[in-house]
Amino acid sequence: MVPLSYYLILSGILFACGVTGFLIKRNIITIFMSIELMLNGVNLSFVAFAAQWKALSGQVFVFFVMVVAAAEAAVGLAIIISVYRNRETLNVDRVNLLKL
Amino acid sequence: MTANLHLWLIPVLPLIGAAINGLFGRRFSRQAVTAIALTFCGAAFAMALWVVSQFSSLTLPYVETVAHWLRAGSFQVDFAFQLDQLSLVMLLIVTGVGFLIHIYSVGYMWEDAGFYRFFSYLNLFMFFMLTLILASNYLLMFVGWEGVGLASYLLIGFWFIKDSAASAGKKAFIVNRIGDFGFLIALFLLIQHFGSLNFQSVFEKVALLDKEASGAGLLTTVAILLMVGAAGKSAQIPLYVWLPDAMEGPTPVSALIHAATMVTAGVYMVARSHVIFERAPIALTVVAIIGTLTALFAATIGVTQTDIKKVLAYSTVSQLGYMFMAAGVAAFSASIFHLMTHAFFKGLLFLGAGSVIHAVGGEQDMRRMGGLRTKIPVTFWTMTIATCAIAGIPGLSGFFSKDEILWRAYQANWIYWMIGVFTAFLTSFYMFRLLFLTFFGSYRGDADKADHGHDPHGHGHGGIHESPKVMLVPLVILAVFSFVGGWIGIPAAWGGSNHFEKFLEPVFHASSPAATPEHAITGEAPIAEQTTETPESQTDHRMERIFTGISVVAGLLGLALAGLLYWQRPELPQKIADSLGGLYHTVVNKYYVDELYAALFVKPLVDGSSRILWRGIDQQIIDGAIDNSADGAREVSDTVRRMQSGSIRSYAGWIALGAAIVIAYMIWVGTR
């Protein structure tokens, strides 16, 4: 059986990749995908712990996270499409109308 | 309670007139404005006459509660009106003289652009004045009291474009506030100690108290504070300064408000509160001294004035002083008697002066008049009657009322009488001076105005001319009353029976401390004239006749002197004035009282409020505190604002950094 620490390290790597992508990428789609990556990194550690401790609550959390992520993807993509239609760009640095 | 009189209608009628003319008068023709104003004022007068016809069937005092006003625990004030002999007399004077002056004003103000405004104010004044005299508690009286002050302010400043008129109105208002302050404190004391402001319940409770013969107590305090209020409204020392300036208003206003009615409100209030005053001998003495001094003081100033209206204004102050002198010696009915005759002859004098001013095209300086006797005969004759009446020429109204006052004053203290007689001499002198300067000699104004002049301003419509009928009729009616008005109060010493005093007796003697033996000290007066012809009263009558003779001689002396100086030898007054030098200048400048007040009160107040309160406290401390806190808030937010860059990535970076720190800390804690 694969030890728990392996899962956690993979989960940490995934999460760190997500954070890094979120911070350095300009394309809004990529940022969005980075967020999904972070969520899935967290999901991985949830299920790992659930398997380790034979507790269902970790898996239930994962379902919640998936539902939220799906809803977020639906709304977020709709926003992205409408931003693109208006601004003809996906660069977040140029979506700055509200800035001072 | 007998029939319902609906007394409340009397004040409300003029209010309706004021409202209609005030709100819509701008669109009405002058005729419509006149009709409305005269109808409502006349209706009040007619109603007053109807009340007189019902009077004998009433149980007095007749009180009518229209509505409840204030209720706080056991303290209660109602909209209630009271009718007794005193308020009936005032009611007739105010509505009667008021109505005549309304008629007169139609002619006088016809060409003024503010015609409707004028009548609206005049009706408003009638409303408040009638509220004042019909009120059955001090608070409602105070409402009327303040209201007539407001109307007075509006009418003094009627020609508010003129700077002098605007500031005269302001002066009247502010000086009256000082008096009202005293009045108000007196009301608070009454509430505190008697728990009521109703005349009847207050007086009932006061009547149970002893006279404050030794030392000053509550009643003395209340009475003196009331007198402060009366001094403000009735232009007594030290608050008389506003009345001469009030002559900036149109002349009918001077006649109605500043001679016949409003300024007598203080006398009325003191007479109404006689129960309190009678139990406070010190306060009564104060009233008598103030009245006597004011009578003398104002009369001396009146001698030197050259503006026809100013002479009459100081004369009014002086006559009001007589009324207070009478009130101060507890001769309240004599005071009200003089109030009534004064309303007739002084109203007439002002209206006559208005007619003169009208005739000579807005000129008010008597030095530029003269010889008007033949040109405006009706005005001349009516004014002559009024002058004789005020000077105390026997047979006319002023003779009886002034004589009554002087006699009562003598019974209290001969000093009052001495000053009173000397003032009567001065009164006669300055009034005949006015008459001779205006109507005798030769015309001293612009020569062309006498014949065919074109006066571009004022009332000028060329030439000296008699006023229209609408102005002359009130003059004639008032002249008749100035002549015969005194006949209802002919004292017993002259074979009369003094109906007037008998009529007012239930008001003034019902609750007076007459029952107590020490009464002899207070009045020395109230029962002096009983009809029973005891030997004692015979001597009294002889004495009274002698004293009357003396004051008549004083009056005639004044007439003779004025005739000599201003008719026969017109060059003399200037010489006398020159020889008097400084004294003359002091009097001409009204004893520098205005300057004194300006230096003592006005300037420190203005300086204090502009330097300390305005520039110091308001601008530095209050504004400064607000400005500084606003600046501080801006600076802080300016610094904090930089954190909110709007760049999502930097926010995410901060979150990641924070999370990393928290995790590092937890790891450090876990591995320790």
Predicted confidence (pLDDT) per residue in B63-110, tens digit: 888 889 988 888 889 999 999 889 999 999 999 999 999 999 999 998
Average pLDDT score, chain B: 86
Determine which of B649, B654, B662, B663 to mutate to test the interface with A (most A C-beta atoms within 10 Å). B649
Q: Which residue of A has its CA nearest to B659?
A: A19
CA B566 to chain centre: 31
- Whether the per-residue pLDDT at B454 is higher than 70: the answer is no
* Tens-digit pLDDT profile for residues B42-69: 999 999 999 988 888 887 788 888 889 9
pLDDT, residue B453, reads 39
* Tens-digit pLDDT profile for residues B482-505: 988 888 888 777 777 778 888 888
Task: Grade residue B523 by pLDDT with cuts at 50, 70 and 90.
Answer: very low
pTM for the structure as a whole: 0.77
Task: Grade residue B515 by pLDDT with cuts at 50, 70 and 90.
Answer: very low
What string of DSSP letters covers A53-89? HT-SHHHHHHHHHHHHHHHHHHHHHHHHHHHHHHHS-
Task: Examine residue A8 and state whether it is found in any structural domain, yes or no.
Answer: yes
Task: Grade residue B352 by pLDDT with cuts at 50, 70 and 90.
Answer: very high
Q: For position A51, which CATH number holds?
A: 1.10.287.3510
Q: Which residue of B has its CA nearest to A94?
A: B647
The first and second tokens of residue B438, run together, are 């205006």
Q: What is the DSSP letter of B59?
A: P
* Tens-digit pLDDT profile for residues B271-289: 999 999 988 999 999 999 9
Provide the domain count of chain A.
1
Task: Examine residue A98 and state whether it is found in any structural domain, yes or no.
Answer: no
Instruction: State which H helix or E strand residue B656 sits in.
Output: helix B648-671
Q: Which residue of B has its CA nearest to A35?
A: B652
The beta-carbon neighbor of A92 closest among B645, B648, B653 is B648
- Residues 6 or more apart from B284 whose CB is under 8 A from it? B223, B277, B278, B327, B328, B329, B330, B522
* Tens-digit pLDDT profile for residues B208-253: 888 877 677 889 999 999 999 999 999 998 899 999 999 988 999 9
Q: How far apart are CA B161 and CA B68, in angstroms?
A: 42
Task: Examine residue A97 and state whether it is found in any structural domain, yes or no.
Answer: no
Cβ pair B504, B89 in contact under 8 A: yes
pLDDT, residue B211, reads 81
- Whether the per-residue pLDDT at B350 is higher than 90: the answer is yes
Task: Examine residue A20 and state whether it is found in any structural domain, yes or no.
Answer: yes
- Whether the per-residue pLDDT at B611 is higher than 70: the answer is yes
| Main-chain dihedrals φ then ψ at residue B170, nearest 5 degrees | -60, -45
Enumerate residue ranges in chain A where pLDDT < 70: 98-100
- Whether the per-residue pLDDT at B514 is higher than 60: the answer is no
Asked if the C-beta of B1 comes within 8 angstroms of chain A's C-beta atoms, the answer is no
- The verdict on a CB contact (< 8 Å) between A100 and B646 is yes
Task: Examine residue A96 and state whether it is found in any structural domain, yes or no.
Answer: no
pLDDT, residue B462, reads 54
Task: Examine residue A17 and state whether it is found in any structural domain, yes or no.
Answer: yes
Q: How far apart are CA B626 and CA B64, in angstroms?
A: 55
Q: Where do the H-state alpha helices sit in B329-395?
A: 332-359, 377-391
Average pLDDT over residues B130-152: 93
Q: What is the DSSP letter of B441?
A: S
Q: What is the ipTM of this complex?
A: 0.76
Instruction: State which H helix or E strand residue B605 sits in.
Output: helix B603-607
For residue A92, the chain B residues in CB contact (below 8 A) are 648-649
Task: Examine residue A58 and state whether it is found in any structural domain, yes or no.
Answer: yes
Task: Examine residue A36 and state whether it is found in any structural domain, yes or no.
Answer: yes
Cis before B61 (ω within 30):
yes
- Whether the per-residue pLDDT at B572 is higher than 60: the answer is yes
- The verdict on a CB contact (< 8 Å) between B647 and A23 is no
Cβ pair B339, B398 in contact under 8 A: no
- Whether the per-residue pLDDT at B457 is higher than 70: the answer is no
* Tens-digit pLDDT profile for residues B246-263: 998 899 999 998 888 899
Q: What domain range is A36 assigned to? A: 4-91
Using alpha carbons only, what angle is made at residue B23 by residues B22 and B26, rounded to the nearest 5 degrees? 80
